[in-house]
Amino acid sequence: MVAGDRATLWLSGALAYPKDAVGPEGALVIEVELVDVLRRSGATPPSTPPDDARRTKSGIAYVVLTPGTGTTHPGPNDRITAHYVGWTASDGNRFDSSYDRGDPIDFTASQVIKGWGEAVRLMVVGEKTRFWIPTSLAYDGKPGRPAGVLIFDIELVGFEPAR
């Protein structure tokens, strides 16, 4: 099914309920409409980057998960649109996801943590990359923010050059 599709399902009572449960007699007719499909990133990534990960001078490690179709990289003042999932490397806690909200975010490199500002400028449109961002380029101990090394899967949806 795809978003907007409808289906009718017929289930026998024996398939719908355990033997000892009380339920309606006879077949169940279930009308289903798929309203939306929310994409979730898969399993928690490893807490440390693989040996073959690329590394920047500032300490960001990264692995391209899906190559992009673009040919240019965003500049520091460009308006960037991206989807992402973020985890803490220390315990694998998934702390944020634009996919869960159903909308990518729009920003410039100066509006996000330093590691993000640097990371997205390495990407091309359509690319999905996993980044391990060191504490000094993340929230660096700010209260109420995820601590330590952060892992992000970022998908560069698009960007508009600064004017």
Could you tell me if 60 and 133 lie in one domain? yes
Give percent above pLDDT 90 in the chain: 69
Q: What is the pLDDT of residues 132-146, one digit of tens each?
A: 999 999 999 899 999
Domain presence at residue 45 = no
Cα 26 to Cα 17, 21, 23, 29: the distances in Å are 11, 14, 9, 10
Could you tell me the residue range of the domain that residue 24 belongs to?
A: 1-37
The continuous run of DSSP H or E covering 10 comes out as strand 6-11
State the total domains in the chain: 2
Domain presence at residue 48 = no
Q: What is the pLDDT of residues 51-84, one digit of tens each?
A: 999 999 999 999 999 999 999 999 999 999 999 9
